Structure 1
Amino acid sequence: MEPLTPSPKPSIKELGLDLMTLSGFQLWVTLFLPFAFFVLYFLLAANNYWIPAVLSTMALSFTTYGSTSHDLVHENLKLNKTLNAAFLSILELLCFRSGHAYKLSHLYHHKRFPHEDDVEGAASRMSLGRTLVEGVVFQFKIYFWALSQSRGRKFHTLIIAEGVSVLAFIAFCIYSAQYTSLFLVYMFLMIAGSWIIPLVTSYLVHTPHGANELRQTRLFRGAFFSAIAFNHLFHLEHHLYPMVPHKNWPRLAKRLDAYFRKEGIEPLEVKF
Structure 2
Amino acid sequence: MNSASTAAHLRLTSSQRIVELARPWVLLALYVAAASPGWWWLAGPLAVAVCLAAFVQMHDAMHNALELPKAANDRLLTLSGLLLLKSGHALQVTHLRHHARCLSPDDPEGAPATWSFARVLWQGPYHILMLRRESLRMAPHTHRIQLLETGLTLLLLAGFVALYVRTGSAVGLVYWAVAFAMSATLPIWAAYIPHHLAAEHPAARAASAVAQVWTPVVASFAFHHVHHQYPRVPTALLPRAAAELPPPPAGHGH
TM-score where L is the length of structure 1: 0.81
Q: Are the equivalent residues in 1 in contact too, given 2:82–2:88 (CA < 8 A)?
A: yes
- Give 1:78-157 correspondences, 5 Å limit: 78-151=67-140, 153=141, 155-157=142-144
- Give 1:189-228 correspondences, 5 Å limit: 189-206=178-195, 218-219=198-199, 221-224=204-207, 226-227=209-210
Distance 1:245 1:168 in 2: 31
Distance 1:114 1:168 in 2: 34
Distance 2:192 2:227 in 1: 16
Q: Are the equivalent residues in 1 in contact too, given 2:127–2:187 (CA < 8 A)?
A: yes
Q: Are the equivalent residues in 1 in contact too, given 2:208–2:219 (CA < 8 A)?
A: yes
Q: Could you report, residue by residue, the CA deviation over 1:36-65 in whole angstroms, capped at 9, with x for unpaired residues?
A: 111111100112221221111111111122
Q: Are the equivalent residues in 1 in contact too, given 2:54–2:83 (CA < 8 A)?
A: no
Partner of 1:37: 27
Distance 1:173 1:259 in 2: 46
Partner of 1:49: 39
Which consecutive residues of structure 2, in runs of 5 or more, have no partner in the other structure? 212-216
Distance 1:122 1:141 in 2: 11
Cα–Cα, structure 1 residues 259 and 93, in superposed 2: closer, same or farther, change >3 Å?
closer
- Give 1:150-169 correspondences, 5 Å limit: 150-151=139-140, 153=141, 155-169=142-156
Which consecutive residues of structure 1, in runs of 5 or more, have no partner in the other structure? 1-8, 208-216, 266-272
Q: Report the alpha carbon displacement of residue 224 of structure 1 after superposing the two structures with TM.
A: 4.6
Over the aligned positions, Cα root-mean-square deviation in angstroms equals: 2.2
Q: Are the equivalent residues in 2 in contact too, given 1:61–1:194 (CA < 8 A)?
A: no
Cα–Cα, structure 1 residues 175 and 244, in superposed 2: closer, same or farther, change >3 Å?
same
Distance 2:19 2:241 in 1: 20
Secondary structure of the 1:231 match is helix
Identity %: 28
Secondary structure of the 1:206 match is helix
Secondary structure of the 1:204 match is helix
Name the larger-Rg structure. 1
Which protein has the bigger helix share?
2
TM-score where L is the length of structure 2: 0.86
Secondary structure of the 1:115 match is coil
